[in-house]
Chains A and B, each alone.
Chain A
Amino acid sequence: DAGVTQSPTHLIKTRGQQVTLRCSPKSGHDTVSWYQQALGQGPQFIFQYYEEEERQRGNFPDRFSGHQFPNYSSELNVNALLLGDSALYLCASSDSGLGPTQYFGPGTRLLVL
């Protein structure tokens, strides 16, 4: 049973570019949450997707957008990249019917130059 997978593992972009990160949830999970973790900080909640819709959103600008597909996989898009967007982006999946237990993926390390 595959856990949460994310791609790519590492990414380097320049300011102003756009990036798309991908996440496949754990088998049987229907809810995907995205987090940004700056170096030395705890993860910050970006948003959560359920039934292909954004259900909750943290304090992030509209440059951060997402999508969930019918197979429950998800994408995180960031437009007009800033240096401060450099971070580890974590995806977590959960089963809406079983409560809030989340399983995290390994993350995508984004570096903006």
Chain B
Amino acid sequence: KNQVEQSPQSLIILEGKNCTLQCNYTVSPFSNLRWYKQDTGRGPVSLTIMTFSENTKSNGRYTATLDADTKQSSLHITASQLSDSASYICVVTAPFGASGGSYIPTFGRGTSLIVHP
């Protein structure tokens, strides 16, 4: 069964500090891995997307890494800001059907990050 596990479940840090969120997955075959930021009551917003051949991708203060061999990814947030308080969701997508076909995503439960002033 395809699964995506995230840790920690929740995290509290002080403004300006760095943090790293973890994602382990069992999805196979693998198409891509994405990190989303979801504010409370809102839809998720994509931060990064990585394919099998990529091992790092940055988007401003967000840097995602991927180790496809160990099936692990991390999201590093640098110099955190109050607006970083949100849920961060790891999503791993497997291709489906001939020639890729449609893409079936498996979502993690997310890490809830709270940034305190």
A residues touching B (Cβ–Cβ < 8 Å)? 4, 31, 35, 40-45, 48, 50, 55-56, 88, 90, 92, 99-107, 109
Q: Are A45 and B105 in contact (CB under 8 A)?
A: yes
**Residue numbers in B under 8 Å from A102 (CB-CB):** 46, 105
Instruction: Judge if B57 is at the interface, Cβ distance under 8 Å.
Output: no
Q: Which residue of chain B lies nearest to A50 when distances are taken between CB atoms in the complex? A: B102
Alpha-carbon distance A103/B106, docked complex (angstroms): 16
Residue count of chain B within 8 Å CB distance of chain A = 23
B residues touching A (Cβ–Cβ < 8 Å)? 4, 31-32, 36, 41-46, 49, 89, 93, 96, 102-110
Q: Are A43 and B102 in contact (CB under 8 A)?
A: no
Q: Are B103 and A99 in contact (CB under 8 A)?
A: yes
**Residue numbers in A under 8 Å from B4 (CB-CB):** 42
Q: Are A101 and B46 in contact (CB under 8 A)?
A: yes
User: Given A90-B44, A102-B46, 17 more contacts at CB 8 Å?
Assistant: A40-B109, A41-B109, A42-B89, A42-B110, A45-B106, A50-B102, A55-B102, A56-B104, A88-B41, A99-B32, A100-B31, A101-B49, A102-B105, A104-B45, A106-B42, A107-B43, A109-B41
Q: Which residue of chain B lies nearest to A55 when distances are taken between CB atoms in the complex? A: B102
Q: List 12 A-B contacts (CB under 8 A).
A: A4-B43, A41-B109, A42-B107, A55-B102, A56-B96, A92-B43, A99-B32, A100-B93, A104-B43, A104-B45, A105-B43, A109-B41
**Residue numbers in B under 8 Å from A41 (CB-CB):** 109
Alpha-carbon distance A31/B105, docked complex (angstroms): 14
**Residue numbers in A under 8 Å from B44 (CB-CB):** 43, 90, 104
